[in-house]
Chain A
Amino acid sequence: MSEQTPISGIRAPARYFDGQTAYPKEAEVAFGERSLVIFGAFQEPIDHWPLGSLRTIPGGSGEAIQLTPHEGSEARLILADERMIRALRLVCPDLNKRKRNRGALGKAMIWAAGALGSVALIVFVLVPALSVQLAEAIPLEQEQSLGDAVAKQLTALMTLTGEGRPVFCGAPDGAAALAKMTDRLTGKLESPYPLRVEVLDHPLVNAVALPGGRVILFRGLIENANAPEEVAGVLAHEIGHVINRDPMREALRAAGTAGILGLLLGDVVGGTAILAASEAVMNAQYRQDAEEKADRFATKLLADAGLPSTPLASFFRSMIERHGDVKGFMKYISSHPQLAERARKAEAEDIIGARRFEPVLSDRGWVSLREICAGAEGHRDAR
């Protein structure tokens, strides 16, 4: 710039808005005593804006700047004169400064902690508590038909593994042995609903409890057990789920928490993965809790029936041999607690130990149970 006009002598055209109407006033601005003076069309001073609080409005292409006398003010001045803009930047070092909301970060952190805490309270306390209450209030017939629907889905899912839809086994001798085992366990038990124990013709080493008192043992479980007491132990565990109404509670809890974690993340990149991980951890905490309760129930049920729980422990150990135990990070996302720990507890709570006890099934009964899926035609679904 070849101009040598001192800063104090600069006069520049501008457009002034008083913040009350959208009416634009043609104006000229010049420096006054520690202020920017705005002159009207007849050179009359309209306004004095102190230089110390003068701020620019962020945004815009940079050709012109928008000024305001102080943050929060509604008055505006639009200025395109390069020399004046440069002079202003020179005299007002705070021109682009934004009010640092003091303690804004602290405030945000406290609010964030409060919000996360409330959401956690809802997800981990409120919904589970309500689920327990509501599970009790659902009519029995409804729960049973829900159990049937789930069973149907389960067998349909198993079709995907290839061997055609598995059937429920019904060899008469085996069924009688199974009934005997169930009666022995539930002799003194008050169940909220009639138990229905069945064997599904499938090689999986597993058992499930469904809503409405339905327990399904898989053929693989019976075939891999070394003694009828091992099967009885697993059955007792599943009966524990039934008595606690775990399947119903879990269904309600899952429905109640659906979509809540999704609120936190929105459509952030990688959000889906984080969401899936946190949901897995959340659900695992509950399932592990329920499993532990069912385990404790099982050892008590076995003791009441005069049966040892050490066979259950050896069943867990054989599972470790087959599939390995959950370790490291997996501990937090697995639906079941660590097998070694479960085996240790089952053994510790055994009150029979090495003493004699009446076997849950005779040798003949055990052979019949193992052959429950052989020979006689099974049925696809009971009802």
Chain B
Amino acid sequence: MTSETDGFKSWDLERYRTHGSGRAVSQGPIEPSVPNNRRRVRATYDLDPGALFWTALGTSFLSVLTVGIYRFWMVTRLRRHYWGMIRVQGDPIEYTGTGLEKFLGFLIAIVILAAYLAIANLALTFIGLSYLESNFELVFQLSLISAVPFYFWAAYRARRYIASRTRWRGIRFGMDPGALGYMVRAIFYGVLTVLSAGILWPYQQFKLEKYMVDRTSFGDQRFQQNGSWIGLLGYWIWLYIMAGLVGLAAWGMSMEPYNQQNQVVGSIVIFIGFFAFLILYLRYLAGKTKYLWDNRSVGETEINNDVSIGEVVRVYVGGSFLVSLCSALLAGVILTAGGAIWMSLGGPEQIEALMAVVAGAENSGATDVELIVAQLLLAWPTLVIFVFAYLFVMAAGFAFSQVFVTQPVLRRQVAATTIANAEVLVRSRQREEDRAGEAGGFADALGVDVGAGL
């Protein structure tokens, strides 16, 4: 009765559905024994662009209207959507975070960060002003970097929060504490990157990702990041080769400033080089994600990824183009509609009245400030229409970017993920709850990109 021919149970949802007969399809028990053939399971991503678009549009518009307060609920709802669409062996991933805990965590974080920034900036400025011989510009720029250590600390804490709120088959993911170690390493690798003129950037990224992944678990089974940073260098080095070519063209132009033909050719090379640079950077990002996911394991389970990097870059570029196009079209439609409403509200008469006020003001010698106030008072319907249109287009642009960029890229990356020896995952036991009380609030306050696509 079962469709398996090779002893492997593909967790197909169809098997859990009855079709008219009313009789359940009977199934035998699953053997937890590990089959010898290391058959691969492919993760799947269910597509529902409509639901995603309306969720993203509604929540981002609310976020804009509430001066950003709603953004914690927005992020939570979007994560819930994305997580639920990813299925491994037919069972969806689950996101259990809440907007409220994120908001409260953010409130804690801003108080701590405000106190820290105030003290650290004052101390740095005071020391700089007291002991630096000159170069006071530098002193005031010191305050810009005082939050940098926190930035790394926050990135780890945010990842830990996300892991603790992720489940599969009811079993939690989780991360060990280690934000401080992450911060120290990030600063050390950061210095190496700067000293090496950026060549060691992939080294920094690989090492830091490995630090996080090696501390992540699914239940009681630990993730491990294998491979080495050389795998990323292969994508990164192309940016340097391209920079060298562009540099060479610029050098050639400067050598013969009077040679018209050289100037034209050089300009074209630099122009193309700029776009090639962007594409190569996107290629690096896609390649990095692929390499990292291609060399991971959980317990005795191996994870691989065979996504086409070219396709990810194409989807990203094409999607971004679509987002701009749709946003521009929407802006046009809304401004036209807004203009019509404005006309019907008596816009032209207002302009006339405004002109009269301006003329009167000039005669009476009124000041610039009074003129501005008069203009604002008379033009408020225009202002309201414009502000709403702007906010709405921004919110819609965000929703478009989720549907045209984030989701298609994620879908390809998920669908390219294969899991070898997945059967042993069933041995994973539940882990203890990790409160992670500040709920990524530090990352939200500092604007750290936690790499969850949001």
Interface residues in chain A, defined as those with a beta carbon under 8 Å from any beta carbon in chain B: 2-3, 5, 11-15, 17-26, 28, 41, 57-64, 66, 68, 74-76, 78-83, 101, 104, 107-108, 111-112, 114-115, 118-119, 122-123, 126-127, 130-131, 134, 137-139, 142-143, 145-146, 149, 251-252, 255-260, 263-271, 274, 323-330
Among all A-B residue pairs, the 6 with the closest Cβ atoms: A59-B84, A324-B367, A268-B68, A61-B46, A60-B84, A115-B107
- B168 CB contacts on chain A under 8 angstroms: 22
Enumerate B115-170 residues with CB–CB distance to A below 8 Å. 115, 117-118, 121-122, 124-126, 129-134, 136, 139-140, 143-144, 147, 168-170
The residue in chain B whose Cβ has the minimal distance to the Cβ of A64 is B13
Question: Cβ of A23 and Cβ of B32 under 8 Å apart?
Answer: yes
In the complex, what distance in Å separates the CA atom of A289 from the CA atom of B30? 77
- A17 CB contacts on chain B under 8 angstroms: 169-171
Quote the shortest CB–CB distance from A350 to chain B (angstroms). 27
Quote the shortest CB–CB distance from A7 to chain B (angstroms). 13
Question: Cβ of A252 and Cβ of B169 under 8 Å apart?
Answer: no
The segment from B266-274, B348-356, B421-429 found at the interface with A is B421-429
Question: Cβ of B369 and Cβ of A118 under 8 Å apart?
Answer: no
The segment from B17-25, B222-230, B246-254 found at the interface with A is B17-25
Question: Cβ of A59 and Cβ of B81 under 8 Å apart?
Answer: yes
The segment from B176-184, B282-290, B441-449 found at the interface with A is B441-449
> Which secondary structure dominates chain A's binding surface?
mixed
The residue in chain A whose Cβ has the minimal distance to the Cβ of B61 is A269
- A330 CB contacts on chain B under 8 angstroms: 369
Question: Cβ of B427 and Cβ of A78 under 8 Å apart?
Answer: no
28 A-B pairs, CB-CB below 8 angstroms?
Answer: A5-B22, A17-B171, A18-B170, A22-B218, A22-B425, A23-B427, A63-B13, A75-B170, A78-B91, A115-B108, A115-B110, A118-B111, A127-B118, A143-B129, A145-B136, A252-B125, A257-B121, A258-B143, A259-B143, A260-B114, A260-B117, A263-B114, A263-B117, A265-B68, A269-B395, A270-B64, A270-B394, A326-B369
Question: Cβ of A81 and Cβ of B16 under 8 Å apart?
Answer: yes
B440 at the interface (CB under 8 A from A): no
In the complex where A13-B15, A22-B219, A263-B110 touch, is A60 in contact with B92 (Cβ < 8 A)? yes
The residue in chain B whose Cβ has the minimal distance to the Cβ of A65 is B92
The residue in chain B whose Cβ has the minimal distance to the Cβ of A42 is B29
The residue in chain B whose Cβ has the minimal distance to the Cβ of A323 is B367
Quote the shortest CB–CB distance from B154 to chain A (angstroms). 11
B406 at the interface (CB under 8 A from A): no
Report which of B46, B84, B122, B370 forms a contact with A252, defined as CB distance below 8 A.
Answer: B122
- B129 CB contacts on chain A under 8 angstroms: 138, 142-143, 146, 251-252
- A61 CB contacts on chain B under 8 angstroms: 46, 48, 84-85, 92
Question: Cβ of B428 and Cβ of A22 under 8 Å apart?
Answer: yes
- A18 CB contacts on chain B under 8 angstroms: 170
Report which of B24, B90, B104, B111 forms a contact with A119, defined as CB distance below 8 A.
Answer: B111
Report which of B25, B110, B368 forms a contact with A264, defined as CB distance below 8 A.
Answer: B110
Question: Cβ of A64 and Cβ of B16 under 8 Å apart?
Answer: yes
Question: Cβ of B111 and Cβ of A115 under 8 Å apart?
Answer: yes
Chain B interfacial residues counted at CB < 8 A? 89
Quote the shortest CB–CB distance from B97 to chain A (angstroms). 11
Which among B84, B104, B125, B373 has the highest number of chain A CB atoms within 10 Å? Answer: B125
In the complex, what distance in Å separates the CA atom of A80 from the CA atom of B27? 15
Quote the shortest CB–CB distance from B43 to chain A (angstroms). 14
Quote the shortest CB–CB distance from B100 to chain A (angstroms). 5
In the complex, what distance in Å separates the CA atom of A154 from the CA atom of B148? 31
The residue in chain B whose Cβ has the minimal distance to the Cβ of A11 is B24
- B136 CB contacts on chain A under 8 angstroms: 145-146, 149
In the complex, what distance in Å separates the CA atom of A19 from the CA atom of B124? 51
- A255 CB contacts on chain B under 8 angstroms: 121-122, 124-125, 139-140, 143
Quote the shortest CB–CB distance from A42 to chain B (angstroms). 8
- A328 CB contacts on chain B under 8 angstroms: 369, 373
Which among A11, A75, A78, A267 has the highest number of chain B CB atoms within 10 Å? Answer: A78
Please encode chain B, from 1 to 31, with 1 for each CB lying within 8 Å of some chain A CB and 0 for all others.
0000000000101111110101011011110
Quote the shortest CB–CB distance from A205 to chain B (angstroms). 16
In the complex where A64-B16, A115-B110 touch, is A19 in contact with B170 (Cβ < 8 A)? yes
Question: Cβ of B94 and Cβ of A66 under 8 Å apart?
Answer: yes
Quote the shortest CB–CB distance from A166 to chain B (angstroms). 21
